[in-house]
Structure 1
Amino acid sequence: MGITAQSVWSNCLAFIKDNIQPQAYKTWFEPIDAVKLSGNALSIQVPSKFFYEWLEEHYVKILKVSLHKELGEDAKLVYVIKMENTYGNKQPFTEKIPSANRSALKSQDVDVPFNNKSPELKNPFIIPGIRNVKIESQLNPSYSFENFLEGDSNRLARNAGIAVANKPGGTSFNPLLIFGGVGLGKTHLAHAIGVDIKDKYPEKTVLYISAEKFTQQYIDSVKKNNRNDFIHFYQIIDVLIIDDVQFLSGKTGTQDVFFHIFNHLHQNGKQVILTSDKAPVDMQDIEQRLLSRFKWGLSAELQTPDFETRVSILKNKLYRDGVEMPDDIIDYVAKHIKSNVRELEGAIISLIAQSSFNRKEITINLAKDIVEKFVKNTKREVSIDYIQKVVSDYFQMDVNTLQSKTRKRHIVQARQLAMFFAKKYTKASLASIGSQIGQRDHATVLHACKTVDNLSSTDKQFRKYVEDLSKKLAL
């Protein structure tokens, strides 16, 4: 049996595998196929220009040594770039490129020579002009599990996060979607998982990015005509953390590219972690095929912390900052600021600052002043019960009638308006709104909101209802 492209490449791989890190071998050499051997020229197929560039920049010496061992000093290497056909192209894109590094390997001029040796987007995180071979995780090491205190409000999400950090890609929590209101610790928990994974598995490529930045990078890659490089960059990540994934709403191009990246990562046992301000069922303008994938793993909610957890958070914050404070003042702050952890910590920081700058002793009166300002500055959220009462009074009916199963037009419209304002003025999920307004499901609430929007623009009388109720409910 004669020498074939596959046998030559197989021997090269055996040599390369013995001389580089296992993770590097898996990422950069396993995806390569040997496609042709012509004399002493070996053609290998790689998935993208980004891939080719990386090999030429970081592994050309070992390629040279391994190839010379197999084919002699005159060995030549040709790259064949074959993009995955996942975008409905009739033909996969193929381009043959001679090895660009002439000092290391003799090049062979075949088909299209690759002259652009430095594509504009290799790694979206590299500042142009600065050579950087490492993918930085973009994680904040100050966000850790140690300072993310456990309570009833976050126990499921925190424990799921720890399970993922212990075995990224190896649990059923893939993807892990952490959702909840503002200031409850979604970003903190996402970073903590990433930081813990980097500690336990230094060889894994972990990347944290906001959905907004991801979208901007995608738009840039389309403008520069290197979308495949962008996709390939994200497909080599081991743990991808995307913050505020609801930002993808309505952005069909970005959703499409994320869908392909997500599928690739999931199929290859890579971990995906997402955060959102709402549950998947409440996300609007996100494609169904993407939402169904969000539900594959675990959706864990972060809720408003209870009093005991708020006290623990404050004590932990003070301990970390080396500040002592009487228990009665801590209890007072925890009792009166309930909305979220960010405001809780903000109030205690203001208290410490006021005390040190004005050289005042931290007293209950000082705490009352600070808390009063915080509560006043926080937009008060009306309750669903209050909204139902205001709407019922406006239409001169009782709340029970509003919630009833009757299909009388004026009652149905009142109920739909209550649902519309509950969605507008509260942070409750659609499912929660539906269950509180007459035991309806989330689809009914969604339909109600669309109906109110439509009638407001076509029906003058109905528009007056919306305006009047808006004034009554205005905060």
Structure 2
Amino acid sequence: MARTDGRAGAAKRNKKEDLMEDLEAVNLAADWADISQGLRKDLGHQLHSQWIKPIQLGAFDDETGTLDLFLPTEFSANWVKDRFADRLTLAWKIARGNIRNVNIQVHPGRRKVPDIALGDGRRPANDGGDMGIMVNGPGVINDAGFTSSVGLDASLTFAAFITGETNILACNAAQRMAATEQPQFSPLYIKAGTGQGKTHLLHAIGHQYLASHPRARIFYCSAERFMVEFVQALKANQMIEFKARLRSFDLLLVDDIQFIIGKASAQEELLYTIDHLLAEGKRLVFAADRAPQALDGVEPRLLSRLSMGLVADIQAADIELRKKILESKLTRFAPLDVPEDVIEFLARTITRNVRELVGGLNKLIAYAQLTGQVVSLQLAEEQLTDILSANRRRITIDEIQRTVCQFYRIDRSEMSSKRRARAVVRPRQVAMYLSKVLTPRSYPEIGRKFGGRDHSTVIHAVRLIEDLRQRDADMDGDVRSLLRQLES
């Protein structure tokens, strides 16, 4: 009986310890969410997405006060350690007093990817990194024994790439690069901001090239991955194999070339590889978020090679292209009804990049389907608050007043005057309404900007214009026109 009670007591203690560990993990995750959000505001979306977002929480050692933070690659771990270790440590100390330092390292369980056998049966050094993908046709085991099923994203094709005035040049150039006949230019350099479609075009080139060259050898990687594999080959004394492997491809696709920084020897190797492949008539495509001349820490000879072909720019999608993209995505959700005013609202409001635009649509539709609600403008405004806030330009009340006065052709002083003529009152009320919609200002703050009016006057104006927009097509048209001017 005593033994049974002992086992029961031990089981209870173990269960309690497990619960405590689970609770600690939940608390750490909640703190990390707050810290990550703060760093996103400090560093900006691009730096945060590239370096902070991939961090995974590890174990916390209460005795030493050390928290493990994991990153997927040695390169990213070293980068974050060099540049953000102090900031991360301080943030955790503020969030949790018992954390005294952080240990930034490569995740021990990172995914292993098969490497590529060399002609003599040996394999180059590879400690689990995925230096790009060699493709011999989708889902086929090639002669080297490497499966390409982890290769190009099947959804990123030319057929799925929606074109408009801002991206048609890059799309046409990409199709030329993938065509059967030899292109007139190489390399192709695609410049585009985050989430505008440059990675999509790289994958589409790979798919199209395979369709016309079934036995082609394609190499797709990020510049960061190239740097990691280069360093690993150097340390393992496998540079001859590394070079032979790299120069054996028919199509080289390198993404995020802006991260080809640091070691001059790695840049030199890429330079020689470019020269070798070009001399053999091979095709090269690079993508980055800036022009070649704007790359930091890249030697002039490499910059010259990157820009010697065609530099195709993808501009930020205009409102017409954003609407086309949303409408194309809606076919996946048929027969779900998404009103035209919701599409117009999303296209007009989410302007930073296409990825956020599509993500906003997906989030809205998922919420509607899971809760059984009807997709509406009100639901979009309620559920996409974070995305909408991040995309809204900082518009001032002064700017709103100036724009409204120009639109209605009244003097700017009328915004603060005591005149009650309809020709003055209605524009003033529209300006108050827009001030509440487009700025974070409170009702009293808005009232002070309109001649020291009481907050109740502003509330009345906002409700009145909201009501008029529902009943009066002319008023709704005026407000829509003003919104386009102010948000453009």
**TM-score tier (shorter):** 0.5 to 0.7
In 2, are the aligned partners of 1:139 and 1:207 still within 8 Å (CA)? no
2:178 aligned with 1:165:
yes
Contact 2:126 2:229 in 1 (8 A): no
Q: How big is the shift at 1:217?
A: 0.5
- Matching residue of 2:25: none
Change over 3 Å in CA distance of 1:199–1:249 after alignment to 2: same
Q: Within 5 Å, give how 1:365-384 maps onto structure 2.
A: 365-378=378-391
User: Which residue does the alignment assign to 1:342?
Assistant: 355
Matches within 5 A, 1:271-420: 271-322=283-334, 323-378=336-391
The residue number in structure 1 matching 2:190 is 178
Cα separation, partners in 2 of 1:165 and 1:274, compared to 1, 3 Å: same
Task: Tell me the number of residue pairs that the alignment of Structure 1 and Structure 2 aligns.
Answer: 272
Structure 1 residue 202: Cα displacement: 0.9
Shift in Å, 1:331:
1.1
Does residue 156 (structure 1) correspond to residue 169 (structure 2)? The answer is yes
Answer with 272-281 or 243-252: which moved more: 243-252
Instruction: Go from structure 1 to structure 2 and tell me whether the alpha carbon gap of 1:306 and 1:378 turns closer, same or farther (over 3 Å shift).
Output: closer
Q: Is the partner of 2:158 in helix, strand or coil?
A: coil
Asked if 1:262 corresponds to 2:278, the answer is no
Cα distance in 1 for residues equivalent to 2:366 and 2:340: 18
Shift of 1:247: 0.4
Distance 1:266 1:135 in 2: 27
TM-score, normalised by the number of residues in structure 2: 0.52
Q: Given that residues 247 and 276 in structure 2 are in contact (C-alpha distance below 8 angstroms), is that contact kept between their aligned partners in structure 1? A: yes
Q: Distance in 1 between matches of 2:197 and 2:367?
A: 26
Which structure has the highest helix share of the two?
A: 2
Structure 1: which amino acid aligns with 2:152? L
Partner of residue 248, structure 1:
260
Shift of 1:196: 1.0
**Structure 1 unaligned spans of 5+:** 1-49, 58-116, 387-475
SS of 1:213's equivalent? helix
| Pairing 1:221-232 to 2, within 5 Å after superposition | 221-232=233-244
Secondary structure in 1 matching 2:151:
coil
The percentage of counterpart residues that share the same residue type is 32
Residue by residue over 1:9-68, the C-alpha shift from the partner in whole angstroms, topping out at 9 and shown as x without a partner, is: xxxxxxxxxxxxxxxxxxxxxxxxxxxxxxxxxxxxxxxxx99x74445xxxxxxxxxxx
Query: What amino acid does structure 2 have at the position aligned with 1:349?
Result: N
Q: Structure 1 residue 190 and structure 2 residue 202: aligned?
A: yes
Matches of 2:345 and 2:329, distance apart in 1: 16
Displacement of 1:274: 0.4
Per-residue CA shift, 1:269-295, capped at 9, x if unaligned?
000110001001211211110111111
Tell me the distance in 2 between the aligned counterparts of 1:366 and 1:297: 47
Deviation at 1:250, TM superposition (A): 3.2
- 1:212 counterpart = 2:224: yes
Q: What secondary structure sits across from 1:174 in the alignment?
A: coil
- Equivalent positions of 1:74-153 (< 5 A) are 120=125, 133-134=145-146, 136=148, 138-153=151-166
Deviation track 1:397-441 (CA, whole Å, cap 9, x = no partner) reads: xxxxxxxxxxxxxxxxxxxxxxxxxxxxxxxxxxxxxxxxxxxxx
Amino acid at match of 1:318: L
Q: Distance in 1 between matches of 2:371 and 2:126?
A: 52
Preserved CA contact (<8 Å) 1:304 1:339: yes
Cα distance, 1:355 vs. partner? 0.5
Q: Indicate the RMSD between aligned Cα atoms, in angstroms.
A: 3.0
- 2:167–2:314: 8 Å Cα contact kept in structure 1? yes
Structure 1, residues 194-227: CA drift from partner, whole Å, max 9, x if none?
1111122111111110111111100000000011
User: Take 1:282 and 1:126, find their aligned partners in 2: how far apart are those partners?
Assistant: 25
Query: For structure 2, which runs of at least 5 residues remain unmatched after alignment?
Result: 1-114, 133-140, 400-488
SS of the residue aligned with 2:298? coil
Change (3 A) 1:372 1:306: same
Offset at 1:369?
Answer: 2.1
Kindly state the Cα deviation for residue 370 of structure 1 after the two structures are TM-superposed: 3.4
Query: Displacement, 1:296?
Result: 1.2
Contact 1:177 1:294 in 2 (8 A): yes
Residue deviations 1:241-261 (CA, integer Å, cap 9, x gap): 000001012331210110111
Residues 135 and 266 of structure 1: CA distance in aligned 2, closer, same or farther (over 3 Å): farther
Change (3 A) 1:372 1:123: closer
3-state DSSP of counterpart to 1:274: strand
Contact in 2 for aligned 1:148/1:188 (Cα 8 Å): yes
Q: Report the Cα distance in structure 2 between the residues aligned to 1:135 and 1:263, rounded to whole angstroms.
A: 28
Cα distance in structure 2, aligned partners of 1:381 and 1:291: 36
Question: 8 Å contact 1:121–1:226 — kept in the other structure?
Answer: no
Instruction: Give, in angstroms, the shift of residue 118 of structure 1.
Output: 5.5
Compared CA separation, residues 235 and 257, structure 1 to 2 (3 A): same
